[in-house]
Structure 1
Amino acid sequence: MTRQTHDHAAEQAVLGAALLAPHVVGDLAATLNPEDFHRPAHAVLWQILIDRHAAGQPVDPITIAAYLTESGDLGKVGGAAYLHTLMQATPSAANASHYAGIVADHARRRQVVELGAQLAQLATSGADVADVVAAGRSMLDTATGGGWPTLIPLGTGRHLPAFPAEALPGWVADMAFAVAEFTQTPVDAAGSIALAALSTAAGGRAEVEVRGSWREPTNLYTVVVLPPGSRKSAVFAAMIGPLLDAERRLVELARPAIVEAELAAKVAGKTAERAANAAASSDDRGALLAEASAAAQEAAEVIVPALPQLVADDITSETAAALLAAQGGRLAVLSPEGGIFATIAGRYSGTPNLEVFLKGHAGDMMRVGRLSRDANHVDRPALTLGLAVQPEILRDIAQMPGFRGLGLLARLLFAVPVNTVGWRNVDVDPVPASVAATYAANLTTLVLTLADWTDPAVLPLTPDANARVLDIQRAVEPRLRPGGPWGHIVDWGSKYTGAVVRIAGLIHLGEHLRDGWGKPIDAATLDRAALIGEYYAAHALAAFDDMGADPTTRNAETILGWIERTGTTAFTKRDLYRAVKSAQFANVADLDGPLGVLDAHGYVRQLDPPARSAKGGRPPSPSYLVHPDVHRPAGTVHALDAHRRAA
């Protein structure tokens, strides 16, 4: 009979005893760590209890519930009702140490199981037998108290959450999941591009009214970071194809009016020309000149509409500005490549031109110069960006003049998903025809419904939704302080709440395709947008860390990514080199620096090398053990780290 390595009832009893008799927390904290709890919510709550007890703060249920509500963590531990469940599940607070002993014993058993798995993996990896024996001794030391150090994060790029596509409108979520499955790409790519597609349909045609004069347009800048060969183009084709069909539909609808306007312009031009000729050949020019002037003015006032265009690809800043003016302030730049960054950085002109991309996001009035006419105004430009870039381009744009200082990077919603290449299933079903048809029909409906709005539709918030926005603002503000979690990306963090509001507007319009402009945005929609916002916040931290990381740290992150993807718990240096050999790691020696970084941060531990054989021969490859926390559920690691930073 296999014995379980956890006892949730004992964990509940420990926490319930602490809430019933707070004085026991100090005694139990000496022997019971948060990591000893099997259930992540229990680990988070125990960390909070011991931190508050150490600070001399009360740990009764009422104050703990209030603290968790303020920090936004109440839902992570099961809500206020669960605190009372914990107390009711405690037979006697006097037996707290006994319950703690049970929890600690199970934690040691799990540790032994993990260490045994590491030893088994090392034994089958081809490592030298003496190395395996040395590993066993090291594991025994660890299991009996040697322990592992607390992980020192390399950055926030590890354990990143997956895109919560379920928060999108149902028909959009269905398409995103189906495309991700068929292309065998992370859902992050399809989800982010889906948001860009919604932004293309609604951008410039709707604004969210938060409070007072604060309004947020419904256009976004999304950037997915994936390496070459990850099928970015296939995802783009599936997600934006319906937009191109909708664009053709708009052209068909507009063509009669364009033909009529062209004819009117031609007639007015001929009339003005005849009047001018008559005035030129007459001795009595006064009245004829007045007629010619009026005819010329009438001809100049005839405006021929441009053919509708929703989507552009790799264009210059000047072309983007001209298209925005021609298209009534709405345009999307959607591309599976990131060449546009080099273009706007001055690839052709030698001078960066970011104005259209800065004002196109904010909706600030923009003057557009034309060769044959006076400068035009674009009162509310609404530019959408939906791009997929390679990691190298992400690092390059951080160095491009003005991109950070002028605020372009602060406007980007980054998605940095795990690359699935090498772990893809080649035998998958295509996107169901019904899912693709519904997505195409609904996206086209949204485009056509909003196409005729010249002044943006105003989407108000319900009182409860406005309260949600205030909650987000209150939670964000402390993060922006110097030394806070977002202190080094304060430019991006300052725009976070606005981004969540914009996403809420897009979800709302996607849920109400034909009459979204006539309904307020409710609190549930804000909550869904906030879930997506949290995703982008985590990925923004990773993206900015990667943009600022030195090459050795980036290489260490690459190795750590391999460890996580493969579930490796022990490995030899030779095995690692075979797995990651590339231009990045051309020689075995290229692993030394990154492995040293991982060792210094506690992610891996090098085993003592076995004694060299007296017969000589090739020395054994160095062997490493992996910190168990690397493979722990991401929610546990994140929640504990977040609480410790806050504390």
Structure 2
Amino acid sequence: MSAHDGRQDTGQGWDAPTPLGARNALPGFPAECLPGWMSRFVLALAEETQTPVDAAGCVALAALSTAAGGRAIVQVRGTYTEPVNLFTVVALPPASRKSAVFRAITSPILKVEAELAERIKPQIVEAELTRAVAAGVAEKAKSKAITTKGAPDALADASDAAAAIEDIKIPALPQLVADDVTPETAATILCDQGGRLAVLSAEGGIFQILAGRYSGSPNFDLFLKGHAGDMLRVDRKGRSEHVESAILTLGLAVQPDVIREIATGPGFRGKGLLGRFLYALPESNIGTRNVDPEPVPAEVVAAYEERLMRMVTHLFDWTDPQVLQLSPEADELRLDYARQLEPRLHPRLGDLGHMSDWAGKSVGAIIRIAALLHLADNPVDGYRLPISADTMTAAIRIGEYFTAHAEAAFDHMGADPEVERARQVLDWITRKKPARFTVREAFSGLPRGTFPKVADVLPSLELLEGYGWIAMEPPPPRNPKGGRPPSPAYQVHPQISGPGA
């Protein structure tokens, strides 16, 4: 009674059904594809915190994106360029020690942020004092112009003095990372920071904020433009903010239910936001953790902190972004991957057609990952060296990992319409608990909005049969007198229809 080989027999002639939408075990994060200094830290941190390697691996990529975002672009071909920032989100249940992973990985970035702030404070004090002096001069010039009733020379001096104030720019305190921030505040910080910002959080509150928790309406503009590196211009009362290229990094850890919830949020998919995230859905190891794990070796921590801090510090001082190039071998690997991907995006025939909004961006994501791996190994002179074939191979492996997890994430979100329709049919069968049913009986019990015609039910029944939940009965012999043939009938798995079901 099963279309799947290898299932355990239930003892009633049926094999155990496969959960609807179930996929093969998802791959673990390929930490060995990261640079050695980061790979060693990620693996040791996962051991110390007893968390899936996926958590540390995804946050580590977000850390590299924080360091390099807005400071480099990849010149792929012709006018095609890619910025090097990423949006990553890893789903873990409560009590998974997400915060410990975030603290360990982002600590060097926050240390650099503090050091940069100390370095720039004297410049801020000097600029504020210079501005205060200029304001005093302008006030005196204004008074003289008033006293002389607008004498041309006095008026010109007052105008020049007022303009001099505007020419004195007070540097902003460096801020590389934000956490619980509204899109409006994030836009202000990003503009103050020359067009770059990272939102790194061990919670998923940013999704509720995007959906309009505070403003009452969704606001995705910064996050859409910040992923693509587009121009950002915001005009508000009393302030106009503008950057030629807004570069935003997102590194988030959320509970698995949040992944499903955001799919139903207004505009999240229609606006294209869901297609920009790199998803990770690792299996929780709660209940099997070692209560006395080995701590991260001190030398591994020291190497990680030194290398990441050096990368952040060096790249921070770049104003115009570095332009990275692909080696001919790396570019050929990119093209090979793109050629193999394209037919998978077909809306009817491709296995990724139902999530082409995500998969269509996966080549660009791989290029970005390759650039980050390249800069992690060459933070000082990466722009002088082409991205190698080995680096592109590692990036493709990471990209394939994210593709597998994105398929699971979009299935979790109900993004595959055929699976979602089959779930509705299975829900009807589970409620009714029939030992058998006909296609017409199923059609009569299902919503017309989803299944307007009897024929619309058939693909879902075929899918459920493939997963072992139902089995079609042999068709009865044709009535020699003619007439309409009886509706096809299905038997139902005893797990649903049997005693005690």
Whether the TM-score (by the shorter chain) exceeds 0.5 is: yes
Whether 1:517 and 2:383 are equivalent positions in the alignment is yes
CA–CA distance in structure 2, aligned partners of residues 319 and 607 of structure 1 = 53
Distance 1:153 1:479, change over 3 A: farther
CA–CA distance in structure 2, aligned partners of residues 190 and 601 of structure 1 = 42
Task: Please state whether the residue corresponding to 1:237 is helix, strand or coil.
Answer: helix
Whether 1:346 and 2:215 are equivalent positions in the alignment is no
Of residues 358, 363, 368, the one that matches 2:224 is 358
Report deviation, 1:154.
Answer: 2.9
Deviates more, 1:249-258 or 1:496-505: 249-258
Report deviation, 1:431.
Answer: 1.2
The answer on whether the counterparts of 2:15 and 2:468 sit within 8 Å (CA) in structure 1 is no
What are the equivalent positions in structure 2 for 1:23-38 lying under 5 Å apart? Answer: none
What are the equivalent positions in structure 2 for 1:27-176 lying under 5 Å apart? Answer: 135=11, 154-155=20-21, 157-176=23-42
What are the equivalent positions in structure 2 for 1:413-452 lying under 5 Å apart? Answer: 413-452=278-317
What are the equivalent positions in structure 2 for 1:272-311 lying under 5 Å apart? Answer: 272-283=138-149, 285-311=151-177
CA–CA distance in structure 2, aligned partners of residues 300 and 372 of structure 1 = 15
Structure-1 residue corresponding to 2:273: 408
Task: Please state whether the residue corresponding to 2:341 is helix, strand or coil.
Answer: helix
Report deviation, 1:598.
Answer: 6.9
CA–CA distance in structure 1, aligned partners of residues 86 and 495 of structure 2 = 49
Report deviation, 1:155.
Answer: 2.6
The answer on whether the counterparts of 2:124 and 2:171 sit within 8 Å (CA) in structure 1 is yes
CA–CA distance in structure 2, aligned partners of residues 416 and 552 of structure 1 = 23
User: Which amino acid is 1:525 matched to?
Assistant: T
Task: Please state whether the residue corresponding to 1:351 is helix, strand or coil.
Answer: coil
CA–CA distance in structure 2, aligned partners of residues 494 and 166 of structure 1 = 26
Task: Please state whether the residue corresponding to 1:216 is helix, strand or coil.
Answer: strand
Structure-2 residue corresponding to 1:317: 183
Of residues 52, 72, 76, the one that matches 1:210 is 76
Report deviation, 1:229.
Answer: 1.1
Report deviation, 1:378.
Answer: 0.9
Structure-1 residue corresponding to 2:469: 600
CA-to-aligned-CA distance 1:387-407 (integer Å, 9 cap, x gap): 011111111111111110111
Structure-1 residue corresponding to 2:451: none
Structure-2 residue corresponding to 1:332: 198
Distance 1:608 1:299, change over 3 A: closer
Of residues 91, 101, 107, the one that matches 1:235 is 101
Structure-2 residue corresponding to 1:181: 47
CA–CA distance in structure 2, aligned partners of residues 608 and 292 of structure 1 = 86
CA–CA distance in structure 2, aligned partners of residues 148 and 245 of structure 1 = 57
CA–CA distance in structure 1, aligned partners of residues 62 and 403 of structure 2 = 17
The answer on whether the counterparts of 1:157 and 1:543 sit within 8 Å (CA) in structure 2 is no
Task: Please state whether the residue corresponding to 2:271 is helix, strand or coil.
Answer: coil
Report deviation, 1:552.
Answer: 11
Whether 1:389 and 2:258 are equivalent positions in the alignment is no
CA–CA distance in structure 2, aligned partners of residues 447 and 608 of structure 1 = 57
Q: Percent identity?
A: 53
Task: Please state whether the residue corresponding to 1:208 is helix, strand or coil.
Answer: strand
Report deviation, 1:156.
Answer: 5.6
CA–CA distance in structure 1, aligned partners of residues 117 and 38 of structure 2 = 25
Structure-2 residue corresponding to 1:496: 362
Structure-2 residue corresponding to 1:244: 110
Report deviation, 1:607.
Answer: 9.0
The answer on whether the counterparts of 1:599 and 1:606 sit within 8 Å (CA) in structure 2 is no
Deviates more, 1:299-308 or 1:249-258: 249-258
Distance 1:378 1:422, change over 3 A: same
CA–CA distance in structure 1, aligned partners of residues 135 and 91 of structure 2 = 52
Distance 1:434 1:551, change over 3 A: farther
Task: Please state whether the residue corresponding to 2:324 is helix, strand or coil.
Answer: strand
User: Which amino acid is 1:301 matched to?
Assistant: D
User: Which amino acid is 1:408 matched to?
Assistant: L
Report deviation, 1:235.
Answer: 0.8
CA-to-aligned-CA distance 1:535-555 (integer Å, 9 cap, x gap): 00000010010011769969x
The answer on whether the counterparts of 1:325 and 1:368 sit within 8 Å (CA) in structure 2 is no
Structure-1 residue corresponding to 2:86: 220
CA-to-aligned-CA distance 1:42-100 (integer Å, 9 cap, x gap): xxxxxxxxxxxxxxxxxxxxxxxxxxxxxxxxxxxxxxxxxxxxxxxxxxxxxxxxxxx
Whether 1:528 and 2:397 are equivalent positions in the alignment is no
User: Which amino acid is 1:315 matched to?
Assistant: V
The answer on whether the counterparts of 2:188 and 2:241 sit within 8 Å (CA) in structure 1 is no
Give the alignment's Cα RMSD to 1 decimal.
Answer: 2.9
The answer on whether the counterparts of 1:176 and 1:190 sit within 8 Å (CA) in structure 2 is yes
Distance 1:601 1:433, change over 3 A: farther
Structure-2 residue corresponding to 1:463: 328
CA-to-aligned-CA distance 1:305-353 (integer Å, 9 cap, x gap): 1100000001111011101100001100000000011001111111111
CA–CA distance in structure 1, aligned partners of residues 497 and 199 of structure 2 = 56
What are the equivalent positions in structure 2 for 1:572-587 lying under 5 Å apart? Answer: none
CA–CA distance in structure 2, aligned partners of residues 338 and 469 of structure 1 = 33
CA–CA distance in structure 2, aligned partners of residues 504 and 217 of structure 1 = 11
Deviates more, 1:237-246 or 1:503-512: 237-246
Task: Please state whether the residue corresponding to 2:73 is helix, strand or coil.
Answer: strand
Report deviation, 1:253.
Answer: 1.6
User: Which amino acid is 1:221 matched to?
Assistant: F
Report deviation, 1:517.
Answer: 2.1
Report deviation, 1:601.
Answer: 7.9
Distance 1:608 1:522, change over 3 A: closer
CA–CA distance in structure 2, aligned partners of residues 181 and 488 of structure 1 = 36
CA–CA distance in structure 1, aligned partners of residues 111 and 149 of structure 2 = 58
User: Which amino acid is 2:67 matched to?
Assistant: A
CA–CA distance in structure 2, aligned partners of residues 159 and 601 of structure 1 = 24
CA-to-aligned-CA distance 1:502-526 (integer Å, 9 cap, x gap): 0000000011122112211011100
Name structure 1 gaps, 5 residues minimum. 1-34, 36-110, 119-133, 139-145, 557-594, 611-618, 623-647
TM-score, structure 2 normalization: 0.81
The answer on whether the counterparts of 2:18 and 2:467 sit within 8 Å (CA) in structure 1 is no
The answer on whether the counterparts of 2:18 and 2:468 sit within 8 Å (CA) in structure 1 is no
The answer on whether the counterparts of 1:154 and 1:601 sit within 8 Å (CA) in structure 2 is no
Distance 1:271 1:541, change over 3 A: same
Aligned length in residues: 435
Distance 1:147 1:351, change over 3 A: closer
Name structure 2 gaps, 5 residues minimum. 427-463, 472-492
Q: Which has the higher contact order (CA 8 A, sep 6+)?
A: 2
What are the equivalent positions in structure 2 for 1:606-621 lying under 5 Å apart? Answer: none
CA–CA distance in structure 2, aligned partners of residues 346 and 231 of structure 1 = 28
Whether 1:269 and 2:135 are equivalent positions in the alignment is yes
